[in-house]
Structure 1
Amino acid sequence: MRTAVLLYRLFDVADEINLELVERILSMEKVTSRLKLSRVPPKSIHIENPPVGVELGNDRIAFGGSDYEVSFYARIYDLGVISIIMHIFLPSAFGYEDFKQFAVILEQQIEYEQYFMAQLNKLKKTLLPALMGSSIGDYVEDFTVFFFTDWQAQWDPLPLLLGEEGPFSDWVRKDTLQHSYSYTPEDLIIITWDSALVYDASGSTELPELLEFANSQLLELRYYDGLLSGEMEKMYSDLQSIEQVGSFARLRHYRRIMGRLMQVVTEVTDITERIQNSVKVTEDIYYARIYSAALIIFRTKAWMDSVQRKMALIQQNYSMLSDEIVTARSTWLEVAIVLLITFEIILGLFSAFH
């Protein structure tokens, strides 16, 4: 690929997507492919179920008053994510000042978002039979990659990465450039939390694809963190309302809440394991370091910790409800025993007097 700007929008659209069915549906009209990192040994980075990629077509979109040719591409992930990529073709005559102005325009302009939604809605309609479960909200991740096949050492990457003219303080410069990596004199990658600059003289887009994969994991963790927050609010609300019903009816409500909590815990445990196992890094190679750095920059671990903390709270409440039910059953059993003993005493007395 030649020098371009890649705009990513990742959407959570389902609990799970059947990728085999996706391939069958899309292959009727389009050419599909599976993500494959061809420049690394197959066993170094293993992708459990590679996403399905498909070209969606070309268009022309105005940025800053000028029309640019764009192409749309999608990747569908089994975790329930659809990624729409807008590939903006830049004129070959573009110089550094042009790149800088374009980055500022991208930061300020929002009209082009409608094109992502149009592509997403069309694709969701096509893939409806392959979508399993429904999303609980509008969870979206956006990411921008400035891709160069020719990068000059004297060019300043900060205006591109931050979408601002500058000037920038030394602290901002140091903080922005701290995650810079290079393997040869002809490649460079700088990663920030919502953008990256990738220079690869060969034109390979594997590093942007790896960043996209890390973003899909982040999106899913955000989704399930939100799901658990909603379940916890519902749980506390239900427990509060149950306090007003009788003790016998309360046990029935407790069992209903416990059933729902166990279902949520089982589902989230399964999906978090799949997220963690979706990419297995077995060797300390260049790509692995970039992937690990991306997870840190995107704060993926913080979201995973939040999910696990909420899971622990839910399991705690499950144990408390279980103890409450056991205690209530023991109490009712003791009452029943006392009643039986009392009944036997009354029968004995009744028999003695007659």
Structure 2
Amino acid sequence: MPDPSIQSAEGTLRGAVLVLLQFDVCETIRLDQLRELIRARTIEPPSLKQPALGYVRYERPPIVEPLGTLMLESGERLQGEIKYFDYGVLSVIFELPFVGDWEKLTSLASRWVWDIDFAAQATEIVRGRLERAAPALIKPYKQWLSEDYLIFHIREIDPLPSAADLIQQHGARIAQVVRGDTGKLAESECHEVLQSRISYYANDLAVIGWNAAFVYDSTSGAETAIQLLEYANSQLLEFRHYDDLLTEELERVYTLLDGGTGFFMRWRLARSATRLHTVLLDVMELTEHADNAIKFLSDMFSARLYKLAALKVGVPDYKELVTRKVSTAEELYRFMVDQFNQSRAFFLELTVVIILVIELVYLFRGKPF
């Protein structure tokens, strides 16, 4: 049992642990139709750090409705809600109120990060909700990609420290929470984790990792960070989908090209080129759609926070993969079109030659063609 004096010195933490689960279920969702089907509310814009004119707004605000309680084997009861984004992503957030010390928080973080498969438990709940939302789904997928993320939101620490004091006194603990590890981390690893931190006021802090984040702020102040972490993870999910889609299409084209580029094969390339070009247009349209889903008009802090969150969860990496595959697909498309055009030109030239030969034959026989 920990020494009571140490526990008292460290103080009591109050807040909540949020489990963010996202599923890519279809190409797009008709939000207007969905709202009529489930009679849910539209999400409100997040509160702002700055009371100025700068703000963050959704291009098409997601629809949100409450979920039931999720009961874990440990007896913990989590309250949830589900959000429907128009680009085909469903976001589920389960929340557990938290009161305890740093040791309790690091223990919970380790158990939830590594030992509990929240996605598997939430999948059946999501499938049940989608049954009535089915008419609003465009091109639903048979198999879903998913992402999970944990947010440890602490709104109060006794006594209340500044962000600088919190890093100095409990930086190693925060690194453990973000990594989901109860062991003492090396100084270099703590430094690596704490480099990904951002603050606006002296008494708020967000430390962002690839699978979890620590947020020290008031309930209203943390709202922006939570929504931007949610959006960054939804973008990661979308780019993963585009990456899989392009990989599958490129493999199909390579298999076709392995069959050779003979005269008759080139006519098949025309159909494949048309299909590939359609996929490219779909990917570029959907990428732009997801990219522009949220707008940062003049709230520079939110823009910087989002950039940090996207970097840590891996959005730029997958976006670069998709960009490279789009470039490869465009080159393959041009190659297939060139091959088809050469075959068509050869066919037309051959047709002209045949017609001329026939005309000559009839001419030498003295019969009109």
TM-score with structure 2 setting the length: 0.86
User: Of the candidates 28, 35, 43, which is equivalent to residue 34 of structure 1?
Assistant: 43
User: Of the candidates 263, 270, 274, which is equivalent to residue 247 of structure 1?
Assistant: 263
| Aligned residue in 2 for 1:285 | 300
Instruction: Give 1:54 deviation, angstroms.
Output: 1.4
User: Of the candidates 137, 143, 153, which is equivalent to residue 147 of structure 1?
Assistant: 153
For residues 117 and 273 of structure 2, what CA distance do their matches in structure 1 show?
46
Gaps of 5+ in 1: none
Deviations 1:70-124 (A, max 9, x none): 101111111110011111122x3x1221112111221342255443122211112
Q: Percent identity?
A: 26
User: Of the candidates 210, 233, 237, which is equivalent to residue 219 of structure 1?
Assistant: 237
Gaps of 5+ in 2: 1-13
Is the CA contact (8 Å cut-off) linking 2:56 and 2:299 kept in structure 1?
Answer: no
Question: How many correspondences in the alignment?
Answer: 340
| Aligned residue in 1 for 2:89 | 81
* TM alignment of 1:98-137, pairs within 5 A: 98-110=104-116, 112-135=118-141, 137=143
User: Of the candidates 64, 78, 94, which is equivalent to residue 70 of structure 1?
Assistant: 78
Deviations 1:48-78 (A, max 9, x none): 1121121112243233xxx222101111111
* TM alignment of 1:309-324, pairs within 5 A: 309-324=324-339
Deviations 1:21-67 (A, max 9, x none): 2222221xxx523141232556543321121121112243233xxx2
| Aligned residue in 1 for 2:15 | 3
1:175 matched to 2:192: yes
1:264 matched to 2:279: yes
For residues 191 and 77 of structure 1, what CA distance do their matches in structure 2 show?
23
Deviations 1:227-278 (A, max 9, x none): 01001111122333465xx734x34422221221121111111111112211
1:138 matched to 2:149: no
RMSD between aligned residues: 2.1
For residues 354 and 294 of structure 2, what CA distance do their matches in structure 1 show?
62
User: Of the candidates 40, 65, 87, which is equivalent to residue 54 of structure 1?
Assistant: 65
For residues 347 and 224 of structure 1, what CA distance do their matches in structure 2 show?
59
| Aligned residue in 1 for 2:311 | 296
For residues 38 and 176 of structure 1, what CA distance do their matches in structure 2 show?
27
For residues 105 and 95 of structure 2, what CA distance do their matches in structure 1 show?
15
TM-score with structure 1 setting the length: 0.89
For residues 91 and 141 of structure 2, what CA distance do their matches in structure 1 show?
15
C-alpha distance 135-51 of structure 1, shift in aligned 2 (>3 A): same
Instruction: Give 1:203 deviation, angstroms.
Output: 4.7
Instruction: Give 1:160 deviation, angstroms.
Output: 0.9
Is the CA contact (8 Å cut-off) linking 2:15 and 2:156 kept in structure 1?
Answer: yes
